[in-house]
Each structure stands twice: as C-alpha cells, then as structure tokens.
Amino acid sequence: TYVVTDNCIKCKFTDCVEVCPVDCFYEGENMLVIHPDECIDCGVCVPECPAEAIFPDSDPAAEPQWLRLNRDYADQWPNITCKKEPMPDADALNGLPGKLADFST
Ligand code: SF4
Ligand code: F3S
C-alpha cells in the first residue's frame, strides 16, 4: 500500500484524489489517508502531491505509525474523490517539521 504521511497535515492539497483509480482516499479535518486494503499500489498519486507526503510502505519515510494512522482513520473518515481548495495556509506550512502535533480528526 501507499501511505499518507505528516506533510499532508494542514496542507491537504487533494490533488491525489483526482488521480486515484480506486478512490481509496479518506478525509479528516486536516489530513487525508489511504485505505491500505483498497490501494492497488499504482503509485500515480505520488507525483501529484505538492507536499510530497505520499510514500510506498516499503519506503523508510512511511513509518509504522503512519501506516497505522492511515488504516485506523480510513475506516472512520468519509471517502473523498474530488479535488477541493487546499487548507488556507497550505503553501506556508508545506514542509514544516513536527506537523503530527497539529493532527486533528
Ligand atoms: Fe490510489 Fe494508486 Fe495512490 Fe494507491 S498508489 S492511493 S491506488 S493512486
Ligand atoms: Fe495531502 Fe498531498 Fe493529497 S497534501 S491531500 S496527500 S495531494
């Protein structure tokens, strides 16, 4: 599976959802996640993300905590299939460290 990681938080550009052939993104208040049982590992979402927040689970950047978070919330959050406006400070916050502290459901 592919995994959404911390730099999505408070950016949520949503370019990823437009290209996913199986519509396996789910939307929380300030982050998206990928459902690990639905992702078909095509990889097309990776270059679409302006925050470079998506990694295959084989990549060290996709730490186990992120895979867990994607799995947990994909079951709870609503599906998202259409691009929407990024969050208000998306460009300013793109790349800042420690965004997990700002994660909200
Ligand atoms: Fe969707 Fe492919 Fe990205 Fe998986 S890797 S989330 S199937 S676009
Ligand atoms: Fe998040 Fe990147 Fe998609 S910032 S919403 S994973 S395009």
CA 89 to chain centroid, in Å, comes to 17
What's the one-letter identity of residue 5? T
- Which token pair is 14? 């949503």
**pLDDT over 90 percentage in the chain:** 99
What confidence tier does 27 reach under pLDDT thresholds 50, 70, 90? very high
Say how far apart CA 104 and CA 84 lie, in whole Å.
19
Question: Each residue of 75-93: pLDDT tens digit?
Answer: 999 999 999 999 999 999 9
Say which CATH architecture domain 2-83 belongs to.
2-Layer Sandwich (3.30)
| Mean pLDDT to the nearest integer, 52-56 | 98
The domain ranges of the chain are 2-83
Ligand 1 midpoint to CA 87 (Å): 22
Q: Is 33 close to ligand 2, i.e. is its CB under 6 Å away?
A: no
Q: How far is the CA of 80 from the centre of ligand 2 (A)?
A: 11
User: In the prediction, which pLDDT does 103 show?
Assistant: 96
37 CA to middle of ligand 2, Å?
Answer: 19
Residue nearest to atom 2 of ligand 1 (CA): 42
Amino acid 56: pLDDT: 98
Q: Is the ipTM of this complex over 0.90?
A: yes
